[in-house]
Amino acid sequence: MVMCDYFAASGDAVAVRVLDQPGGPDPATFDVVPLKGIDPVVAMAQLEAILTGCTYDEASERPRAGQLFSSPDAASAFIVSVSDTLQEALASATHVSLAEAAGPWSETDELRQGGITSGTGLDVLVLLAALAGRARPAGLRLYCWWAL
């Protein structure tokens, strides 16, 4: 399964340096949420659409939405950004709004194929919302180390 470690970093250059470390972002250096199979492009745009009420196309076209910051020719891992809009939506979300989003998000093809239920989807959303909430006051942005 694809590894997707979501983490907070002070900027794009710092985030890309994670590729110099074997195994992804070091939890001793970065605030990290390790996830499997929650891809930073399609699944995150779907989540943003659900949380913000926009369309998938609008979410996927926003600045930093699934933006690749590492070489597309990399053999094993990439650094991809999470949009600022999604980061803010997660940081501002209540447990109730996360629970309401978990159902539709878990019903998307990508998550359903990965065996994600609304319960496990809510667990993921709570972890991501907590990461976004910790990043916001520190002025950090969210990224994903995506290892194939």
**What are the pLDDT tens digits along the chain (148 aa)?**
689 999 999 999 999 999 988 899 999 999 999 998 899 999 999 999 999 999 999 999 999 999 999 877 777 899 999 999 999 999 999 999 999 999 999 999 999 998 999 999 999 999 999 999 999 999 999 999 999 8
pTM of whole model > 0.75? Answer: yes
Q: How many domains does the chain have?
A: 1
Inter-residue contact 57 to 110 (CB < 8 Å): no
**Residue ranges making up the domain that contains 121:** 3-147
Helix (H) or strand (E) holding 106: helix 95-106
Could you give phi then psi for residue 37, rounded to 5 degrees?
Answer: 75, 5
What does the radius of gyration of the chain's CA atoms come to, in whole angstroms? Answer: 14
- Residue 139 has which token pair? 């002025």
User: For the chain, first and last CA: distance in Å?
Assistant: 8
Could you tell me which residues come within 8 angstroms of residue 87 by beta carbon, excluding any fewer than 6 positions away? 132, 135, 136, 141, 142
CA distance 102 to 82: 18
Provide the CATH number for the domain around residue 111.
Answer: 3.40.1760
